Structure 1
Amino acid sequence: MTDPLPPTRRNRASLTYKLRYAAQNPDKIRAYLSRMSRDLKFRVASRDHVAYYRSVMRSDTARNPEAAVGSRSHGRWLALGRMQFDYLLEHGLKPDDRMLEIGCGNLRAGWRFIDHLETGNYYGIDISPDILLAAQHTLVRQGLRDKMPHLALVGDLKLRFLPSAHFTVVHAHSVFSHSPLDVIDECLANVGRVLAPGGFFDFTFDRTEGAEHHVLREDFYYRTETLTRLAERHGFTARLMDDWEALPHGQSKIRVTRPEPAEGTAPA
């Protein structure tokens, strides 16, 4: 039995998809039922989505920090980090850039960014204290303490403690794929303040061309136009990065920029 729909048309929350997937992957049923049980427990105990997903990360990180950020093996952890780094390097990342990584995790890509950037130019934030402790271990393992990166725990994506117009590059990999629309809206409403003139914000997401949906409260699937329109409402220009689609990672990427003011006009 095969799924007749392409990946971007599948509704992973539908009963039909779940039954078909279970029939094709009976060995994964037990793990999914365990996730459902955990999901219910965390929903009841959490006041909002950030608290919910912090519990998810605590649970996943306790088992394996690399798996907690979506890597099935250390080799895959290295490969995905390298892919993110190489792509940004080919698309404008320079050593003198000041970079903010939203959802830095255990520095899967972050350690490469830190190594490439000038000392002190990397700032990573995450909602999970557990994964940030794992990030410290990555820094030590890679010998990057002297690069003086900043790592900070956050409770939301309002970015209130960060300086205005400071970061030339903002990056969020596999953050919006785990976020409901109100969290994404909060981020886009505030990231423009910390973004320097001429800077850009790259983020990945799980793309669907069918009905938007989520699996438990962990994985969210959006249409491209939903996120580009949301970015435009916050004053950004947004475009799907088509060349990212060809790489073996499973997510899509959008880049948002703030249009430069016309000559002779004051910035908004």
Structure 2
Amino acid sequence: MTDPLPPTRRNRASLTYKLRYAARNPDKVRGYLSRMSRDLKLRAVSRNHVAYYRAVMKSDAARNPEAAVGSRSHERWLALGRMQFDYLHEHGLKPDDRMLEIGCGNLRAGWRFIDFLDAGNYYGIDISPDILLAAQKTLVRHGLRDKMPYLALVDDLKLEFLPSGRFTVVHAHSVFSHSPLDVIDECLANVGRVLAPGGFFDFTFDRTEGAEHHVLREDFYYRTETLTRLAERHGFTARFMEDWEELPHGQSKIRVTRPESRPES
């Protein structure tokens, strides 16, 4: 049994899709049922989505930190990190850029950014203390202590503790793909304050051209125009990065930029 719809038209939350997927992948049914059981338990005890997803990451990181950030193997972890770094490098990242990575995880791409950037110019934040401990191990493994990166635990994406106009580049890979719209809105409402004039914010998301949906509150699928319009409401110029679609990663990318100067209110 095959799914007649292209990937961007599939509704992975629908019963029809789930039945077709189960028929094609019977070996994955047990894992899905386990995720469903975990979802019900965590949703009952979590006060909000950040608390819920922090618990998801704690569970996943306990088994394998690299799998927790979405890499099925160490080789894939390395390849996805390299892909993110190469893309930003080819699209303007310079050693003297000051970079904020939202959802830095265990530094899948972060260790490459840290190695490339001038010392002290990388700041990574994440909602998971468990994955940040894994990030410290990545730093040690790659001998990057002297680059003096910052790693910080956060409870939201208001970015209130960060200085205004500090970062020339903000990066979030596979963050909005796990976020409901109110969390994305919170980030876009606040990231402009920490961006330097002329700076840019690249983020990936799971794209759908059909009905927007989520799977177990872990994976969220959005139409491109939903996110570009949201960014524009917060004063950004938003651009869908078409060349990113050519790479083997499974997500789409948008770049938002803020004006060189803001009009006086």
TM-score by length of 2: 0.99
Partner residue, 1:201: 201
Partner residue, 2:90: 90
Q: In 2, distance between residues paired with 1:144 and 1:236? A: 34
Q: How does 1:1-268 map to 2 (within 5 A)?
A: 1-261=1-261
Runs of 4+, deviation exceeding 4 Å = 265-268
**Percentage of pairs with the same residue:** 89
- Alignment gaps of 5+ in structure 2: none
Q: In 1, distance between residues paired with 2:86 and 2:223? A: 26
Q: In 2, distance between residues paired with 1:73 and 1:91? A: 27
TM-score by length of 1: 0.98
Q: In 2, distance between residues paired with 1:260 and 1:162? A: 20
Q: In 2, distance between residues paired with 1:25 and 1:242? A: 31
Secondary structure at 1:101 match in 2 = strand
Task: Please tell me the residue identity of whatever aligns with 1:40.
Answer: L
1:5-44 residue CA offsets vs partner (Å, 9 max, x unmatched): 0000000000000000000011110000000000000000
Q: In 1, distance between residues paired with 2:16 and 2:74? A: 34
Task: Please tell me the residue identity of whatever aligns with 2:19.
Answer: L
Task: Please tell me the residue identity of whatever aligns with 1:240.
Answer: F
Q: In 2, distance between residues paired with 1:207 and 1:131? A: 26
Calculate the aligned-residue CA RMSD, in Å.
0.9
1:95-151 residue CA offsets vs partner (Å, 9 max, x unmatched): 000000000000000000000000000000000000000000000000000000000
Q: In 2, distance between residues paired with 1:14 and 1:206? A: 16
- Equivalences, count: 265
- Alignment gaps of 5+ in structure 1: none
Secondary structure at 1:20 match in 2 = helix
Residue 189 of structure 1: how far off its partner (Å): 0.2
Residue 259 of structure 1: how far off its partner (Å): 2.3
